[in-house]
Structure 1
Amino acid sequence: MSAAKRLGALGSVGLLAMTAACGSSASGGVAGVPKTTMNMGTVSAYTSLDPAGAYDAGSWMVFYNVYQGLLTYLPGSTVPTPDAAQSCNFVGTDYMTYHCSLIKGLTFSNGDPLDAAAVKYSIDRVLTIGSETLPDKQPADNGSGVSVLLSTLKSVEANGSTDVTFHLKTADATFPDRLASGVGEIVDPKAYSATRVLPGVSGAVVGSGVYKIDSVQTKKDDTGAEVPTSVKLSLNPNYKGAYSKTKPTNSGVTLSYYDSPADIRAALDSGKIDLNANSDLASKDIVSLEGAQQLGKGLQVVEGAGSNTRMMVLNTKLAPFDNLAVRQAIAKLIDRDAIAATYQHTVTPLYSVIPQGIGDQTTPFEASPYDVKPLKAAVVRQSLKGVSLPISFNLTYAANSVGGNAEAAQIKKTLEASGLFKVNLTSVATLGKMIPLWAGHKLPASLTGWQPDYPDPDDYVSPFLGVNNTFGNGYAPAKIMKDLTPLSLKQPNRADDSTANTFATIQKQFAYDAAYIPLWQNKQYIVTQSDVTGVPLTLDLAAIMRFWMIGKS
């Protein structure tokens, strides 16, 4: 599978200017909606406009606004609610059959009917394109790996025009969350091939979301590949769903893509954009702007809860981290407050693989065996009896990760100050360079971020498990994989005590094994011009930027 979506979108450098347009012209507007176009900027450019061909943050940001799924997350909620569906529910008590009834009379933006057959087509298409069984034996999803989110799905059944039934291979209480993610977007069968994704980055999009795409501007990067520079959206007058009763506060959005956080800051300072559409400004800019802002004057900083995490990954199959005591020693010595300081405290120290706000988070990395203060180094040394000191290892990270250099340097400083470790820092240019190293099980230790697909604790657990897990670190605890995770997937009420108890046990085991050492949890920061409204309504743990809620006073 690809880690691109979960680990953050890859940046681009060295772009050569060239533009191209596609799509139809903007509509005349929707009655009662302010004729206001919002100009937004981000460094997270999409990689594809096709839900079957993208698994990255930039693409999903566009998807959530131009496509529609059976389910969505309302502002502030981590529980899926019907969107294109009128209702959805599990059938029976084994949580292996899921049924949805669609809203009657739904259409795509071009007027084609959106019915049960279209839903089945869309989901089947993701599985077909994500397979390697096509005639030419080539993965048709461009290697995105997004079909992994449907790994528990056995088949889809369409009954009549409005009834869809999903038959699962195993119990999966998170299946509604998966349908509410970017993989569950519904496409027009008449406009999308059953076996191929839309070509390039400017293919004609037909969705049923709040917006439709009017045009895309592109240019060539230094490899000659076409990349987007902006996308223009206007309201879809045919939209009908969860947000039908919420009147949009703008008539359209122009989303521009920039090469760096510094470029975003410059565009804000000049007034070229109304806001950044993602938390992609440097920490120093956030801090300086928070200090300078005055209510109603100048640039304003809006802060919201985040669900992204940062962690150190230790390979349980490679020396020196095939030794539990060594992994635990690292976890005992890590100074999360010092790491947060390198980000000027725009992040929050994290003591579990599951972040605050997602399920019932516990803090096992503050409990035994990690509560070793104040004689930390001396106590840790006792736990390493028989191990040759100092322990030398390579710590790999992506050089282009915001704050990554300072973070890695701080970790090296802390560990080496104990006299127990010698840390050799190794950087690669981008996250993309780390992915094959994880896949090849070649990294003893690495630093990475984690961006969830949906706000459920399972999405911070299951992808980390197994010999060939996302990070290739061989972590495969039998108790969690054979007992606890299957049990959690049979618990549909994700907020009740039984689910909480299951995940408390899982978090404790993760902490004891120390194959993943959580470092911090992000906060979302959106910087806006003084007249921008509605941003707080769309900053929540679901991490969906709901463009239609943003307007101007």
Structure 2
Amino acid sequence: MNRKSLVLPAVIGLLAPVLAACGGTDGAGKSDGSIVVGTTDQFAASKKAPAPFDPAYAYDAGSWNVLRQTLQTLMALPRGGGEPVPEAARQCGFTDTGNERYECTLREGLTFSGGDAVTAADVKYSIDRVRAINADSGVSGLLANIDTVETQGESKVIFHLKTADATFPFKLATPVAGIVHPADYSKSKLREGFDIDGSGPYKVSAQVKDDVVVKVVFTKNANYKGQLNPKNGKVELRSYLDADDMGVALEKGDIDLMTRTMSPTQIQKLSDDPGKNINLIETPGLEIRYLGFNTDAPGARTKAVRQAMAQLINRGELASKVYGTQAEPLYSLVPATITGHANSFFNKYGDPSVDKAKQMLEQANVTTPVKLTLNYTTDHYGEGTEKEFEQLKKQLNASGLFDVTIKGTKWTEFRPNELEGKYAVYGLGWFPDFPDADNFVAPFLDKGNFLASPYANSTIRNELIPESRRQADRLTASKSLEKIQSIVADDVPVLPLWQGKQYVAARDDIQGVEWALDSSSNLQLWELSRGVKG
């Protein structure tokens, strides 16, 4: 891959450590030596979502953070960000001038955690399996541009793409391309439950109660061969129902580190109250939040309604009142720090205006107030979500042009409902699969998209996305990407709201905390170790 101009700042240069204290016990050591990490991510199996840890289905940040520790991929993102590097592969690269033939050679001696050899046939099986199952989560869309997968001998895999795609190495670094053992994963159906088997840096076991994971235990895989260097022998990931409980556990020393999702209140408290035992670290993030629209649904199918909402919502007020300095207003699907970003929504709508929104609705003969329900998930993005939607409701209703109600639903029900088109308007977040502008447009706008959205723009799908992917130089791709963002601002199939920062809080005897998350919110447990208190 000849991506020469996608320049992301090294994480180490942007870290902003803030000392903070919450008291608690003096020692957070665990009797078995494990490092314990807290999360509010909930991992549950249900009839609608029976396989939360199957790479052919999983497509949320929490599940991917489990899979990244256990399943090996041909490529991986380097420690400080930038272009992917070989992981299960010894080398990879495009072998043609058109970026349509990508070849990888496996490392020698690769084995699954159980000892069986990892071969090129296993890689092909894993990729073909995801594409064949084509789960409704939309994750297979990342591999949709693959035409065929070819193997040569035991170690060479060749991907023949339908069209040029300079971002393909990034896709091979995501868990959907995780290598699985054919004996453990059926070719035609999902692996239900919480078992995971792979060749990654850790083996895993999950403690489950009532089809919900209580904790996930990662144990160093002695058979692992790759470019990662685990600095610990065991990590335990504990799920908490809310951020407050997780924070108390950190104070008491029951856990060593906590990250997603900390509440705005917690982060502010840790920032304002310096002390000895706990460090808060702010790192650059690419998380975005947005409203999605079912453009076939009553209430949301009229473009003028969506445009009026874009004209009315005050992103700056929303971000500051709910998240303080922890979020910034966003005027495009593409974050401001990514090459190809354009302030397309601000360029079209400018500052919030009731008069302009009223004119849009009148010209489209829309009767006001427009009745809408804004749907959100109560347990996936943290406690700020409800406050955020209360603020959105307040802003829209204050205009007199809308009569908005809000409704919260648990993630295990919310996400299937959204995919089935049951919501006209809904709120979601996006943690990128990889740090490129393509991954902030294609998952929402291309065929088989993450939202299962009925919105289809032929110019975007057939011209602009393929055109941008042909460009190995991502600055050159910016022209096509900016056109996409302009169309989105006009049609409003999605409405970007804000871009967030990310935080990690850890007890001061834990080392490597600055590397615990990369810019795409990928958890890197292998970087953590226990050291001397500072």
Amino acid corresponding to residue 207 of structure 2 in structure 1: Q
Q: 1:44 aligns with which of 20, 24, 41?
A: 41
Q: 2:173 aligns with which of 169, 177, 180?
A: 180
The C-alpha deviation readout for 1:201-247, integer Å capped at 9, x for no partner, is 2x3x442222223x432212xxxxx332222222223322222xx4x
The C-alpha deviation readout for 1:343-373, integer Å capped at 9, x for no partner, is 2332221111111333331212222x31247
Paired with 1:218 and 1:325, the residues of 2 have a C-alpha distance of 47
Measured after TM superposition, the shift of residue 181 of structure 1 is: 0.5
Matched residue, 1:377: 354
Flag the 1:261–1:301 CA change in 2: closer, same or farther, 3 A. same
The C-alpha deviation readout for 1:472-510, integer Å capped at 9, x for no partner, is 5532223212211121122233x3x21112111211221
Matched residue, 1:329: 308
Paired with 2:85 and 2:466, the residues of 1 have a C-alpha distance of 24
Paired with 2:512 and 2:345, the residues of 1 have a C-alpha distance of 37
Confirm or deny: 8 A CA contact 1:73 1:542 kept in the other structure: no
Q: Does the residue aligned with 1:362 lie in a helix, a strand or coil?
A: coil
Matched residue, 2:208: 218
Matched residue, 1:298: 277
The C-alpha deviation readout for 1:275-322, integer Å capped at 9, x for no partner, is 12x42121111111211133xx13221111222211122344445544
Paired with 2:349 and 2:402, the residues of 1 have a C-alpha distance of 21
Confirm or deny: 8 A CA contact 2:138 2:449 kept in the other structure: no
Aligned pair 1:282/2:263, yes or no?
A: yes
Matched residue, 2:15: none
Paired with 2:361 and 2:53, the residues of 1 have a C-alpha distance of 52
Paired with 2:398 and 2:346, the residues of 1 have a C-alpha distance of 21
Confirm or deny: 8 A CA contact 1:467 1:474 kept in the other structure: no
What TM-score do the two structures reach when normalised by structure 2? 0.84
Q: 1:113 aligns with which of 113, 117, 121?
A: 117
Paired with 1:474 and 1:444, the residues of 2 have a C-alpha distance of 11
Q: Does the residue aligned with 1:344 lie in a helix, a strand or coil?
A: helix
Confirm or deny: 8 A CA contact 2:141 2:443 kept in the other structure: no
Paired with 1:322 and 1:232, the residues of 2 have a C-alpha distance of 46
Measured after TM superposition, the shift of residue 266 of structure 1 is: 1.9
Q: Which runs of 5+ in 1 are unaligned?
A: 1-34, 132-140, 221-225
The C-alpha deviation readout for 1:153-184, integer Å capped at 9, x for no partner, is 22211111221111223333332222110111
- For residues 422-501 of structure 1, the aligned pairs below 5 Å read 422-465=402-445, 469-471=449-451, 473-493=453-473, 495=474, 497-501=475-479
Measured after TM superposition, the shift of residue 144 of structure 1 is: 4.8
Paired with 1:399 and 1:72, the residues of 2 have a C-alpha distance of 31
Aligned pair 1:265/2:247, yes or no?
A: yes
Q: Choose 230-239 or 439-448, whichever is displaced more.
A: 439-448
Confirm or deny: 8 A CA contact 1:107 1:114 kept in the other structure: yes
Flag the 1:266–1:209 CA change in 2: closer, same or farther, 3 A. same
Paired with 1:164 and 1:530, the residues of 2 have a C-alpha distance of 44
Measured after TM superposition, the shift of residue 384 of structure 1 is: 4.2
Measured after TM superposition, the shift of residue 54 of structure 1 is: 2.8
Aligned pair 1:513/2:503, yes or no?
A: no
Aligned pair 1:84/2:84, yes or no?
A: no
Paired with 2:184 and 2:448, the residues of 1 have a C-alpha distance of 36
Measured after TM superposition, the shift of residue 195 of structure 1 is: 4.0
Q: 2:101 aligns with which of 90, 97, 102?
A: 97
Q: 1:168 aligns with which of 128, 149, 161?
A: 161
Q: 1:395 aligns with which of 373, 377, 397?
A: 373
Q: State the percentage of identical aligned residues.
A: 36
Amino acid corresponding to residue 548 of structure 1 in structure 2: W
Q: Which runs of 5+ in 2 are unaligned?
A: 1-31, 45-51
Measured after TM superposition, the shift of residue 551 of structure 1 is: 1.6
Paired with 1:280 and 1:412, the residues of 2 have a C-alpha distance of 23
Measured after TM superposition, the shift of residue 467 of structure 1 is: 8.5
Paired with 1:239 and 1:468, the residues of 2 have a C-alpha distance of 34
Paired with 1:439 and 1:144, the residues of 2 have a C-alpha distance of 8
Matched residue, 2:525: 547
Measured after TM superposition, the shift of residue 39 of structure 1 is: 0.9
Confirm or deny: 8 A CA contact 1:118 1:187 kept in the other structure: yes
Paired with 2:233 and 2:225, the residues of 1 have a C-alpha distance of 16
Paired with 1:49 and 1:388, the residues of 2 have a C-alpha distance of 45
Matched residue, 1:536: 514
Amino acid corresponding to residue 377 of structure 1 in structure 2: V
Measured after TM superposition, the shift of residue 255 of structure 1 is: 1.5
Matched residue, 2:217: 232
Paired with 2:57 and 2:497, the residues of 1 have a C-alpha distance of 31
Flag the 1:66–1:335 CA change in 2: closer, same or farther, 3 A. same
Matched residue, 1:527: 505
The C-alpha deviation readout for 1:134-156, integer Å capped at 9, x for no partner, is xxxxxxx6x65533332222221
Measured after TM superposition, the shift of residue 83 of structure 1 is: 0.6
Measured after TM superposition, the shift of residue 53 of structure 1 is: 4.4
Paired with 1:253 and 1:36, the residues of 2 have a C-alpha distance of 9
Q: 2:78 aligns with which of 71, 74, 95?
A: 74
Flag the 1:424–1:329 CA change in 2: closer, same or farther, 3 A. closer
Aligned pair 1:200/2:193, yes or no?
A: yes
Paired with 1:388 and 1:126, the residues of 2 have a C-alpha distance of 44
Amino acid corresponding to residue 528 of structure 1 in structure 2: A
Confirm or deny: 8 A CA contact 2:375 2:423 kept in the other structure: no
- For residues 242-253 of structure 1, the aligned pairs below 5 Å read 242-243=227-228, 246=229, 248-253=230-235
Confirm or deny: 8 A CA contact 1:438 1:470 kept in the other structure: no
Aligned pair 1:410/2:391, yes or no?
A: yes
Q: Choose 405-414 or 437-446, whichever is displaced more.
A: 437-446
